[in-house]
Amino acid sequence: MIQTISIIFFFQLFSLNGATESGIFGGKVSKPHSRPYMASLQFYGHHSCGGILVRDDFVLTSAHCNDSTMAMMVVLGAHDRSKKEKSQQNLQVADYFTHPEYVGQHDYDIMLLKLKNKAKLNKYVKPIGLPKKQKNPPSKVACVVAGWGRTAVNGPASDVLRETTEKIELPEECKRIWQEYFFTNQMICTRFDKKKGGICQGDSGGPLICKSKLQGITAYTAENDCDNTEYPHVFMNLHFFLPWIKKTMQG
């Protein structure tokens, strides 16, 4: 009986967050346009997920951010989404490339968006490079996370880009806590300070940047419990996916 209760509790607590309002709880407001690779993925003008510009015609994000029933718009060059900033570029998606092994579960949760028109690169819109080597970031390294939206677990969404830092955790510890939800080769997890904040409900597709290098994509947290420091935040590990990313972008 105890084992059954534990399993039910585990599934209720650790279910994936939806790709709705992206957000950083706590943290600070980013310096305007200091992260020109950030993308806001929108449906009917409403922010849904984060994304990362990795080439003038490709945006990297989470596979679960896709919605086949609606056309997605990629907004680049934004800081305050509530304003029509001159820096913003609204681009349609020509093709959605979800990883061929993604079946709607936790693993292989990665997608490339091919833009219908190339982004106009300038000081507001600029891609970030992919990792050059398949080498995971070491534990305890402080990494930046960024996104728009919720500033607390059940708080309001933020119109402006926010960011904070989280530290890489040992994969063995991530596996011990997340168990079958954590795939050591595909994922990275982080510890965070409750006062400094971190990723929160629905903050999918955004970047994990360590020492100015892109290392991961925001994947999931404990549902409605993102600020509980007992449960590390989880990201897809870009090093594992480099061969697929490069092959897909080469066409």
Residue of 22, 30, 40, 204 marked catalytic:
204
Length of the chain in residues, anyone? Answer: 251
Residue of 109, 203, 227, 233 marked catalytic:
109
Structure-block tokens of residue 226: 């993102």
Q: What is the DSSP letter of 117?
A: S
| 3-state SS assignment for residue 217 | strand
Q: What is the DSSP letter of 181?
A: G
- Phi and psi at residue 248, in whole multiples of 5°? -65, -40
Residue of 64, 99, 106, 233 marked catalytic:
64
The structure tokens 């990629």 sit at: 74
Is residue 239 annotated as part of the catalytic site, yes or no?
A: no
Alpha-carbon Rg for the chain in angstroms: 17
Is residue 109 annotated as part of the catalytic site, yes or no?
A: yes
Q: Are 59 and 113 in contact (CB under 8 A)?
A: yes
CA within 13 Å, CB half, 239? 15
Distances (CA, A) of 81 to 17, 159, 181, 236: 22, 5, 33, 26
Is residue 64 annotated as part of the catalytic site, yes or no?
A: yes
Distance between CA 53 and CA 205 in Å, rounded? 11
Q: Are 41 and 61 in contact (CB under 8 A)?
A: yes
> Which helix H or strand E contains 233, and what residues bound it?
strand 233-237
Question: Looking at the annotation, which residues are catalytic?
Answer: 64, 109, 204
